[in-house]
């Protein structure tokens, strides 16, 4: 009898646990390395696998939201993460929120119960030979980070993340803003929010008075001048903002024919042009105060924020340069990255990446080739996006409708468009499962743990 294939999974977080589960269902043996509790990270508090380090929310569970579509797809792909979340759900309106301790315990116990999975509590400091999935997350240990840097090239591994707030395009008040590039260089690619002196002063006072998240010491030393939070720039004086991210030079408001006192610029953030990010507005303001301050920007009074700004420690690779759509590294076909280190953002997206890496690694070992899930699905779009996004200033991404390919027949109303995108995603995923299901282990009853 031939020996079953063995895959090393590094990291027992959201992505690593899901990858191990998907492999085990296909009778692939897994050695899962988790360094906790022998060595911890600055934010994890327990020795449980799949520990949620901050919020206990997996965000919206409705199909009118892209993350809700991703939930449903993961359910259909028999996700350990999603079923454990469903079992440990706590009331949270339309959101899927969980009892974090029970959730982590269930995942730990279900993996421990599998013969195919050996859990080794040890920091892995070298990338091993043979099939391997790296899922060590935003707080990857230093020694392994060095190895990853050698593998990918130092310019392709980042250690912090500075995210600017993202606004839903059709909630920007275009009566107050104007489209232009500085000095009219290039097309009218930016949406400019012009401030009068009084508007800027009101904004500045609110910005300086707003509550920020405390910065742990380990993060403080990670900030480089190039990615200071907007409020830190402001603390150096209003002028620093006016010569920095809010500078008005090269811009003329077509309504007044004059240069505004200050400008906040928005840049298109997705192919569908549904999302715009505020350029240079990375911030550590808490979400409530952040929303209040941002609404003082002329044109954003009624804006809907798709994502708020953050600056935090985050180890991640430049996925568009390093990975293919199948999450394999371009240099080594048997080496995969999954989870936050692969350039996704958030618990759900990280688990989704682990799910795909597990399926794809299993397919490569058992079938000799990978058949990627359709791009029209949320999970397929996420993998496609991280491997094909603009590499030059790559930042980890959440799932949004904006990264799912547009419908063949355009639908104007947002709600209806979202419903159609969700329906197409689930239909295409179902037919992919239909074709690949038995090989995937979804219908084979290969699971022996409770679920
Ligand atoms: C401070 C902070 C707050 C966050 N808050 C939220 C939030 O509220 N909501 C949200 O959706 N997302 C949040 N995130 C993002 C969140 O961490 C990720 O979305 C998610 O946990 C990432 O999943 P992962 O599997 O990639 O990594 P993790 O869940 O972090 O798992 C990685 C695992 O690898 C282990 N590990 C690291 N190096 C090694 C090694 N060399 N050998 C063996 N094991 C190793 C770690 O101990 C860890 O258990 C936050 C991140 C941070 C840093």
| Closest C-alpha residue for ligand 1 atom 13 | 346
Residue of 5, 295, 10 lying closest to 140 (CA atoms): 10
Cα(267) to centroid(ligand 1), Å: 29
Cα(339) to centroid(ligand 1), Å: 8
Measure CA 89 to chain center: 22
Burial pattern 136-153, b for ≥16 Cβ within 10 A else e, equals: bbbbbbeebbebbbebbe
**Yes or no: is domain 6-161+313-440 CATH 3.40.50.620?**
no
Check if 13 has its Cβ closer than 6 Å to any atom of ligand 1: yes
- Each domain of the chain, given as residue ranges in start order, spans 6-161+313-440, 166-308
Contact 439, 19 (CB under 8 A): no
Index of the ligand 1 atom closest to the CA of residue 49: 49
Overall fold of domain 166-308:
Elongation Factor Tu (Ef-tu); domain 3 (2.40.30)
Which pLDDT score is estimated for 320?
Answer: 94
Which pLDDT score is estimated for 450?
Answer: 36
CA distance 319 to 341: 9
Check if 350 has its Cβ closer than 6 Å to any atom of ligand 1: yes
Going 170 to 173 to 175 to 176, the CA torsion angle's sign is negative
Contact 340, 138 (CB under 8 A): yes
The 3-class SS string of 132-183 reads: EEECCCCCCCHHHHHHHHHHHCHHHEEEEEEECCEEEHHHCCCCCCEECCHH
Index of the ligand 1 atom closest to the CA of residue 58: 11
Long-range contacts of the stretch 38-46 (C-beta < 8 A, 24+): 38/121, 38/122, 38/123, 39/123, 39/141, 41/137, 41/139, 41/141, 42/139, 42/216, 42/218, 42/313, 43/139, 44/139, 46/101, 46/104
Cα(44) to centroid(ligand 1), Å: 8
DSSP strand pairing (95-98 vs 57-60): antiparallel
Cα(419) to centroid(ligand 1), Å: 31
Residue of 264, 11, 275, 271 lying closest to 120 (CA atoms): 11
Check if 54 has its Cβ closer than 6 Å to any atom of ligand 1: yes
Check if 353 has its Cβ closer than 6 Å to any atom of ligand 1: no
Long-range contacts of the stretch 361-365 (C-beta < 8 A, 24+): 361/7, 361/19, 361/23, 361/28, 361/131, 361/133, 361/334, 361/336, 362/22, 362/23, 362/26, 362/28, 362/440, 362/441, 363/439, 364/131, 364/328, 364/333, 364/334, 365/5, 365/7, 365/28, 365/131
Check if 10 has its Cβ closer than 6 Å to any atom of ligand 1: yes
Which pLDDT score is estimated for 268?
Answer: 87
Index of the ligand 1 atom closest to the CA of residue 314: 53
The backbone torsions φ and ψ at residue 237, rounded to the nearest 5 degrees and listed phi first, read 120, 150
Rounded average pLDDT per 10-residue block, the chain, 451 residues:
81 98 96 97 91 87 96 98 96 87 96 98 97 96 93 80 86 96 84 97 97 69 65 94 95 96 91 84 92 97 90 87 96 96 94 98 94 98 95 86 93 93 98 87 47 37
Which pLDDT score is estimated for 164?
Answer: 86
Contact 65, 72 (CB under 8 A): no
């Amino acid at each position: 009898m031939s020996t079953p294939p063995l895959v090393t999974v590094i990291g027992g977080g959201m992505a690593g646990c899901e990858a191990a589960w998907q492999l085990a269902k296909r009778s692939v043996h897994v050695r899962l390395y988790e360094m906790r509790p022998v060595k911890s990270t600055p934010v994890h508090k327990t020795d449980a696998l799949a520990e949620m380090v901050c919020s206990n929310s997996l965000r919206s569970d409705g199909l009118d939201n892209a993350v809700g579509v991703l939930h449903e797809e993961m359910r259909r792909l028999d996700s350990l993460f999603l079923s454990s979340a469903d079992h440990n759900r706590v009331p949270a309106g339309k959101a899927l929120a969980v009892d974090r301790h029970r959730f982590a315990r269930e995942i730990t116990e279900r993996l421990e119960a599998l013969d195919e999975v050996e859990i080794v509590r040890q920091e892995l400091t070298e990338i091993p030979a043979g099939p391997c999935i790296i899922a060590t997350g935003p707080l990857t240990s230093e020694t392994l980070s060095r190895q990853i840097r050698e593998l990918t090239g130092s310019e392709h591994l980042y250690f912090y993340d500075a995210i600017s707030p993202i606004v839903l395009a059709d909630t920007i008040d275009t009566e107050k803003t104007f489209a232009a590039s500085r000095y009219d260089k290039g097309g009218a690619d930016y949406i400019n929010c012009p401030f009068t002196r009084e508007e800027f002063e009101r904004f500045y006072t609110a910005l300086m008075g707003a509550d920020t998240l405390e910065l742990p010491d380990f993060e403080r030393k990670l900030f480089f001048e190039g990615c200071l939070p907007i409020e830190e720039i402001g603390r150096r004086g209003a002028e620093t903002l006016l010569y920095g991210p809010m500078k008005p030079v090269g811009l003329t408001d077509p309504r007044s024919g004059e240069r505004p006192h200050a400008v906040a610029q928005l840049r298109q953030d997705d192919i569908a042009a549904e999302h715009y990010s505020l350029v240079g507005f990375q911030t550590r303001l808490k979400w409530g105060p952040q929303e209040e301050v941002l609404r003082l920007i002329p044109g954003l009074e009624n804006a809907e924020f798709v994502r708020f700004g953050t600056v935090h420690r985050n180890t991640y690779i430049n996925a568009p340069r390093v990975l293919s759509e199948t999450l394999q590294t371009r240099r080594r076909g048997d080496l995969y990255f999954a989870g936050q280190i692969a350039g996704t953002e958030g618990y759900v997206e990280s688990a989704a990446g682990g799910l795909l890496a597990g399926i794809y690694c299993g397919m490569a070992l058992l079938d000799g080739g990978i058949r990627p899930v359709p791009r029209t699905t949320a999970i397929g779009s996420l993998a496609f996006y991280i491997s094909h996004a603009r590499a030059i200033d790559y930042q980890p991404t959440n799932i949004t409708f904006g990264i799912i390919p547009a419908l063949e027949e355009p639908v104007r109303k947002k709600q209806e468009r979202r419903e159609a995108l969700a329906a197409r995603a689930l239909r295409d995923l179902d037919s992919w499962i239909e074709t690949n299901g038995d090989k995937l282990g979804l219908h084979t009853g290969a699971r022996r743990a409770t679920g």
